[in-house]
Structure 1
Amino acid sequence: MTIQREWQSWSLNKKIGQLFVFGFHGYEPTEQIKRLIEANGIGGTIYFSRNVKDAKQVHKLSGELQSIAKNAGQPPLFVAIDQEGGMVARLVDGVTLMPGNMAIGAAGLAEGARETARVCGEELRQLGVTMNYAPCIDVNNNPDNPVINVRSYSDRSDVVSELGAAAVLGYQSARVAATVKHFPGHGDTAVDSHHALPILLHGRERLEAIELKPFRAAIKAGTDCIMTAHVCLPALDPTGVPSTLSEPVITGLLRKELGYEGIVVTDCLEMDAIDKNYGPAQGAIKALQAGADMVLISHTFEKQWAALEAVIAAVEKGELSEARIDEALDRIMSLKVKLELDESLKAWEQVEPIIGTEANKAVARRWSEASVTLVKNDGGLLPLSRSESTLVLWPDIVPVSVADEMLSGDGSLGQFLGEYGANVVERRMNSDNPLADLDRFAQIIVVTYDASKHPLERDIAREVVKLAPERTVAISVRNPLDLLLYPEVKAYVAVYECRPLALAAAAKALLGDINPIGKLPLEISAAYPFGWNAAADS
């Protein structure tokens, strides 16, 4: 790839195009994304669930997008995705879906973070996806955080630092650019930046001790990219602007103090924290002025087009220097050379046998099973008896718009228990009278997803624990802090996602087929601290 030596002679419009990553709607290239690639030479595109059917379709789409760029004489595209694992994954069908960060945190070994990232990266690369907006290295030290939660490895900065750096090495060994996020830290916010601007009031000493530590580790590990957070930190920039638009944060802290030399990409400028206060067009100018290299606008063509025109006009008027554009472009083209983006995709017939393999699934299964955490077993209820009548109370399907999360319809805990030989009846919590005839069940399992946000889960869990305290086991399939809402339960197991892989691991643990060796990656309470495992303590 010789483009790197040629970009100095490009037109201003072509240079600026490379600084944008745009999303589009549909399973095939739209006329709008074709226009943005051909006429504007955008630097990359991003896949969401709206772009993804299965692995074969993604492989075809990636090839089509690169062909559009090549035929127009444009550089090859970055193709990005949010494939964090666990609950945050755009691509599920036909690939090996890895456990999410908090599950890896419960397993507790850097080897798990590195191996799962490597396998994920290898499969993404075969499908033409060359930039993963992962890992999330925010420290989850605020139980009210609506957007990070199980996307974090832990509430301990040292754990997040170690596992995040290991994941960076795993992705990049597969020639997929890792993108650690969200700088300088989104873990201690109680506001979702998709909907408003969070403000974090900690001083610099505290930020150094917690929020910044994982980013220092990722930089040392050589992360290709860092994504900014739409979070206001007055201790770093007293003007009140979000970090994405802050020169003291991006140029001052990240570049000069932390010494980071790779690509800085913004989080999506259509999130309300930016869109409602600045708009993507002005946001793009301000982000580039602050020191960002790539601007992400995920959804709306009109806003994407306006941002391109605004940045061109800003350079022509002298509001944004061409030297700043060249600096960003140099980093972008250098990474495209490093990743060998001009390499042709293999034919699908060659790719299909090497993704979603049994060996890769075994990696995912091993680390998922290693994450299952026995928090309580005070009544000796576990393991369950296969022969005894067992009721599973399963929560509603709960969409979480922040990251395409949802309580999966692909399986349930009762389904997996039944497959493993248990005598199970499963009821949905939103069915008519789900607590009828409790007396006829020798064992009751109440499943919660995020009981603090969903009153039905909380109320049913509390009622079951009250009515049948000696027979009830609770299991959280996302937020381990659910235990605080029904603390009287005698047995409690935590898994950190409700994907089929985690539910299968949970069923095995409940039946005694595997030892639940995971350790709490965060503190639930003084009685259940970080690192706690009742099986190891008993």
Structure 2
Amino acid sequence: MTEQWKHWSLREKVGQLFVFGFHGYAPSAEIVDMIQRFGVGGLVYFTRNIVDAKQVHGLSASLAQTASAAGRPPMFLAVDQEGGMVARLVKGVTLIPGNMALGATGSPEAARETARISGEQLRAVGINLNFAPCIDVNNNPDNPVINVRSYGDNAKFVSEFGLAAVRGYQEAGVSATVKHFPGHGDTNVDSHRDLPLLPHDRERLEAIELVPFRQSAGDTDFIMTAHVCLPALDPTGVPSTLSQPVLTGLLREEIGFGGIIITDCLEMNAIDKFYGPEKGAVMALQAGADMVLICHTPAKQLAAVEAVVRAVEQGKLSESRIDESVGRILRAKAARGIDEPLAPWEQVEQQLDTKDQREKVRQWSESSVTLVKDEAGLLPLRSDAKTLVLWPEIVAVSEADEMMDGDGTLGARLASRIGDLTERRMNEPDALHNLEAFEQIVFVSYDAAKLPAERAVAERLMQIAQEKTVAVSVRNPMDLLVYPQVGTFLATYESRPLALEAAAKVLTGEVAPSGKLPVGISEQYPLGWSWK
């Protein structure tokens, strides 16, 4: 495979430079056609493609067979399986905690071990490329898209956890992807929606944003670009994904990254709105990218391939530039052995969601729960007290989220531990009715700073029942800034089942909280803080 490609047609070589998404639980007619006609370098799965582990195993086998029957090289089969709130495959596997929860454990080994567990399961169902870990430094509390996808707000801290996760995934035979180069952590605009700008100078970028990427560059198979403008690196105003000074000058030549540079999706508004995937694909390759990601629209995918072919034919893009990337891609595929056939489902099933995997992940999840304060002395909760739990509406606060039903509530976990418990949804008209009837209240917030209805309930509750309220954040620890007067505050970093179970155990005294804040909430509650 590593030599035969030199005799391919231009379209066949260009095909290797693209990773496409498709719609449906089975291969779409359009994606089958593109595989057969010129081959594609890879495909990416979203929730729209996934039922459970068994179905993904069958889908991966079907796609591999399609490529093989057409005489095409094996494909990277990719997914965004970061853990926590950004996970596409959640049924039939052990879902690992998200990055901020892992950061709260204080142990990079948590990142390595959970990544290895996730990687082993992904590889078993045919996924050989994970668009993880996210190594953006989340030093802007108003960031709408990174937030709990980051390990924390300190560059050295994030670097250690990111490198550990890269090694964990790749030990399991899955290519890791660190993202989003050169840094998306200090933006207040989501690049899914518009084009963010980072105004910092080079000195600041070297001190924070670039630190984790320099650390991981020698280990990771892939680095994903950010659709972010950094005038200090490229004063033309071109986003990093399309910038030759950023991708070739900084990442390839200065940092010395020898792996695969892949773009974030070119259908995100930061690119689609200003350039479009056709022009964007050509510009990204001219800038030094190896692979172009286009996730949604078949017409745009095909047009982008044809635009790259035309650019070569017209001399705007050299064929040697194409060859350089094709060689790099095929070497990476060979190194990860992605042409190995999938084991039968009956054999694979035994490797997924095992008792050992669940136990290790449970321990790390429990280690992440952070007691920030208990000035009111309300913990552990009394099992014999009349208790109200106020549960928020769990919604996607970022377009990176793909919300799943069935994770349940904290009240459901506490009900087996507290005899007289009522749970109300925060969006119910009578959510705060008759609070005097309850001896203890558990207020659960998800992302109060961004969700006005949740913030309003928090503010009202603090006015009338603050002295008996325990607040629990199940995503964003910055929620404490919305209701700082609360006397007891517990931080978890996601609303997934394991995190909710861990929170319930800490609230009732079954488990002692050992997590430490991976981000500074305020001067009073800095990075590394926990209540003694």
TM over 0.5: yes
1:357 alignment counterpart? 354
1:330 alignment counterpart? 327
1:20 alignment counterpart? 18
From 413, 416, 438, the equivalent of 2:435 is: 438
Instruction: Determine helix, strand or coil for the equivalent of 1:191.
Output: coil
**Equivalent residue letter for 2:483:** Y
Count of aligned pairs: 532
**Equivalent residue letter for 1:159:** F
CA distance in 1, matches of 2:136, 2:440: 38
1:192-229: CA deviations, max 9, x gaps?
A: 00011000000000000100000011113x10000000
Displacement of 1:313 in angstroms is 0.4
From 75, 81, 93, the equivalent of 2:73 is: 75
CA distance in 1, matches of 2:404, 2:508: 23
The answer to whether 1:347 aligns with 2:347 is: no
From 187, 192, 204, the equivalent of 2:185 is: 187
C-alpha contact (below 8 Å) 1:413/1:503 kept by paired residues: yes
From 124, 132, 138, the equivalent of 1:126 is: 124
CA distance in 2, matches of 1:241, 1:352: 47
Instruction: Determine helix, strand or coil for the equivalent of 1:89.
Output: coil
1:43-72: CA deviations, max 9, x gaps?
A: 000000000000000000000000000000
From 53, 61, 64, the equivalent of 1:63 is: 61
1:363-418: CA deviations, max 9, x gaps?
A: 11111100000001001001101111110000123133511343854210000011
1:87 alignment counterpart? 85
CA distance in 2, matches of 1:273, 1:501: 35
C-alpha contact (below 8 Å) 2:407/2:495 kept by paired residues: no
What percentage of residue pairs aligned between the two structures are identical?
Answer: 62
1:133-192: CA deviations, max 9, x gaps?
A: 000000000011000000000000011000000000000000100000000000000000
Any gaps of 5 or more consecutive residues in structure 2? none
Any gaps of 5 or more consecutive residues in structure 1? none
CA distance in 2, matches of 1:438, 1:399: 29
1:5 alignment counterpart? 3
From 170, 176, 195, the equivalent of 1:178 is: 176
1:13-34: CA deviations, max 9, x gaps?
A: 1000000000000000010010
- The two structures have a TM-score, normalised by structure 2, of 0.99
Instruction: Determine helix, strand or coil for the equivalent of 1:83.
Output: coil
Instruction: Determine helix, strand or coil for the equivalent of 1:177.
Output: coil
Displacement of 1:97 in angstroms is 0.3
Displacement of 1:422 in angstroms is 4.6
From 252, 256, 271, the equivalent of 1:255 is: 252
CA distance in 1, matches of 2:441, 2:404: 20
Instruction: Determine helix, strand or coil for the equivalent of 2:502.
Output: helix
Give the 3 Å change call, closer, same or farther, for CA 313–243 of structure 1 in structure 2: same
From 144, 151, 157, the equivalent of 2:155 is: 157
**Equivalent residue letter for 2:329:** I
C-alpha contact (below 8 Å) 2:47/2:402 kept by paired residues: no
CA distance in 1, matches of 2:523, 2:406: 35
1:479 alignment counterpart? 476
Instruction: Determine helix, strand or coil for the equivalent of 1:374.
Output: strand
1:398-448: CA deviations, max 9, x gaps?
A: 133511343854210000011334531100011121111111111101111
Give the 3 Å change call, closer, same or farther, for CA 291–422 of structure 1 in structure 2: farther
C-alpha contact (below 8 Å) 2:145/2:398 kept by paired residues: no
C-alpha contact (below 8 Å) 1:400/1:406 kept by paired residues: no
C-alpha contact (below 8 Å) 1:90/1:404 kept by paired residues: no
C-alpha contact (below 8 Å) 1:49/1:90 kept by paired residues: yes
C-alpha contact (below 8 Å) 2:382/2:418 kept by paired residues: no
1:531 alignment counterpart? 528
Give the 3 Å change call, closer, same or farther, for CA 55–195 of structure 1 in structure 2: same
CA distance in 2, matches of 1:422, 1:67: 55
1:214 alignment counterpart? 212
- The two structures have a TM-score, normalised by structure 1, of 0.98
CA distance in 2, matches of 1:87, 1:398: 11
The answer to whether 1:398 aligns with 2:395 is: yes
From 280, 285, 293, the equivalent of 1:283 is: 280
C-alpha contact (below 8 Å) 2:144/2:398 kept by paired residues: no
CA distance in 2, matches of 1:432, 1:331: 58
From 188, 203, 206, the equivalent of 1:205 is: 203
Instruction: Determine helix, strand or coil for the equivalent of 1:403.
Output: coil
1:464 alignment counterpart? 461
Instruction: Determine helix, strand or coil for the equivalent of 1:400.
Output: coil
1:244-284: CA deviations, max 9, x gaps?
A: 00000000000111000000000000000000100000000
1:460-518: CA deviations, max 9, x gaps?
A: 11211221122100010000000001100000000000011100100000001101110
The answer to whether 1:138 aligns with 2:147 is: no
Give the 3 Å change call, closer, same or farther, for CA 422–238 of structure 1 in structure 2: farther
Alignment of 1:233-244 (within 5 A): 233-244=230-241
Displacement of 1:455 in angstroms is 1.2
C-alpha contact (below 8 Å) 2:262/2:292 kept by paired residues: yes
The answer to whether 1:416 aligns with 2:417 is: no
1:267-326: CA deviations, max 9, x gaps?
A: 000000000100000000000000000000000000000000000000000000000000
CA distance in 1, matches of 2:396, 2:11: 40
CA distance in 2, matches of 1:356, 1:179: 23
CA distance in 2, matches of 1:514, 1:504: 11
Instruction: Determine helix, strand or coil for the equivalent of 1:180.
Output: strand
1:53 alignment counterpart? 51
Instruction: Determine helix, strand or coil for the equivalent of 2:471.
Output: strand
CA distance in 2, matches of 1:397, 1:368: 20
**Equivalent residue letter for 1:529:** P
CA distance in 1, matches of 2:2, 2:264: 26
2:33 alignment counterpart? 35
CA distance in 2, matches of 1:84, 1:505: 20
**Equivalent residue letter for 1:355:** L
1:53-98: CA deviations, max 9, x gaps?
A: 0000000000000000000000001000000000000000000100
**Equivalent residue letter for 1:231:** V
**Equivalent residue letter for 2:72:** Q
From 485, 493, 500, the equivalent of 1:503 is: 500
Instruction: Determine helix, strand or coil for the equivalent of 2:466.
Output: coil
Instruction: Determine helix, strand or coil for the equivalent of 2:109.
Output: helix
C-alpha contact (below 8 Å) 1:407/1:449 kept by paired residues: no
Displacement of 1:451 in angstroms is 0.4
2:385 alignment counterpart? 388
